[in-house]
Amino acid sequence: MNSFMNAFSKSEKRVAEYVLDRIDSIIYMSITDLSEQVKVGETTVLRFCRKLGFKGYQEFKLAVAKDTVNPLYKLHDDIDESDELQVMIQKLSAANIRALQDTSGLIDSKQLDRAIGMIVGATKLHFYGVGVSGMTAQDAKAQFLLIGKFVDAISDSHHQAMAAATLTSHDVVVGISISGSTKDTVDALRIAKENSAQIIAITHFARSPITKYADVVLLTAGKENPLQGGSLAGKIAQLHLIDMLCTGVAVRTREKALYYKEKTAKAVVDKKL
């Protein structure tokens, strides 16, 4: 960055100076967070990253993480290589419990209530996510199937886009992304929004690209740096929120939910010994 200072525009130079002053915290910031802090547009941040030779902001953050988190690529924020096994167990347990507690503290009950109402009234319910968030989407699909919702979970980018294009104002999409900057998911939500679908975003970052298309934003804890793709604490936080949504819907549709829980249980009873 220092070597490129003379090549940066005035706004790009402001981005560089901000990053250099806060290098350790940048890896936990979304592109929207950074652009708002520096008071420049997101396109300026992208130009800054590309001028340094990166394809985009996420690739830039990955490079920063490699240089700042630990030269040996620390495997977990809380774990040191000198920790004994019992200490590792305690630290991981504490981190995962903290993710649950912090997520509960972030929940806006009015937003949660609105999201539950949207899902109750939805003709079709779609969950979009990729990577670990894609697995959370599959878990969500399984939970909502049990209570009789017409639901799908899609992680392939082409299938997300095609499915989003078929939606209407009677349908709901839940986009899941810890960073809130996953391009495939953001693009799919944009298409769904253009087709009048109702949007719920589940993310760690209140100000991130995914929230621009959301009618409701539900925040989770368990942030991850770019070297921790697939943070278990982040996934636990997502599942905790999905459980709240599913339980809220089941309570409001009690008779239907109980009927389908019994029916789906009978459908798989012969799959068990």
Taking the C-alpha atoms of residue 211 and residue 213, their distance in angstroms, rounded to an integer, is: 5
pLDDT at residue 224, as a whole number: 62
Taking the C-alpha atoms of residue 28 and residue 40, their distance in angstroms, rounded to an integer, is: 18
Quick one: DSSP state of residue 221? -
- With tokens 């802090």, the residue in question is 37
Angle among Cα 120, 122, 128 to the nearest 5 degrees reads 105
Q: What is the mean pLDDT of residues 157-186?
A: 95
Taking the C-alpha atoms of residue 184 and residue 220, their distance in angstroms, rounded to an integer, is: 20
pLDDT at residue 83, as a whole number: 79
Q: What is the mean pLDDT of residues 17-42?
A: 88
pLDDT at residue 229, as a whole number: 58
pLDDT at residue 72, as a whole number: 43
Report how far Cα 40 is from the mean position of its chain's Cα atoms: 24
pLDDT at residue 228, as a whole number: 57
State pLDDT tens for residues 153-165: 999 999 999 999 9
Cβ pair 144, 244 in contact under 8 A:
no
pLDDT at residue 30, as a whole number: 84
Q: Report the predicted TM-score, pTM, of the whole model to 2 decimal places.
A: 0.77
> Looking at the domain that runs over 90-271, which CATH code has it been given?
3.40.50.10490
How many CB atoms are located within 10 Å of the residue 196 CB? 11
pLDDT at residue 144, as a whole number: 97
Angle among Cα 115, 151, 117 to the nearest 5 degrees reads 20
**Residue 172: beta bridge partners?**
125, 198
Cβ pair 151, 254 in contact under 8 A:
no
Alpha helices in 107-182 (DSSP H): 109-120, 132-146, 157-165
Phi and psi at residue 40, in whole multiples of 5°?
Answer: -135, 170
Taking the C-alpha atoms of residue 77 and residue 265, their distance in angstroms, rounded to an integer, is: 40
Who contacts 238 (Cβ-Cβ below 8 Å, separation ≥6)?
A: 133, 136, 176, 178, 202, 220, 222
Highest mean pLDDT out of 12-21, 94-103, 115-124, 216-225: 115-124
Helix, strand, coil percentages for the chain (3-state, nearest 5): 60, 10, 30
Distance set, CA 32 to CA 21, 38, 209, 254 (Å): 18, 10, 7, 40
pLDDT at 73 > cutoff 60: no
Domain spans of the chain, in order of start: 2-68, 90-271
Who contacts 101 (Cβ-Cβ below 8 Å, separation ≥6)?
A: 221
pLDDT at 76 > cutoff 80: no
Average pLDDT of the chain, as a whole number:
89
pLDDT at 41 > cutoff 50: yes
User: Domain 2-68 has what CATH class?
Assistant: mainly alpha
Report how far Cα 185 is from the mean position of its chain's Cα atoms: 9
As a whole number of Å, the end-to-end CA separation of the chain is 62
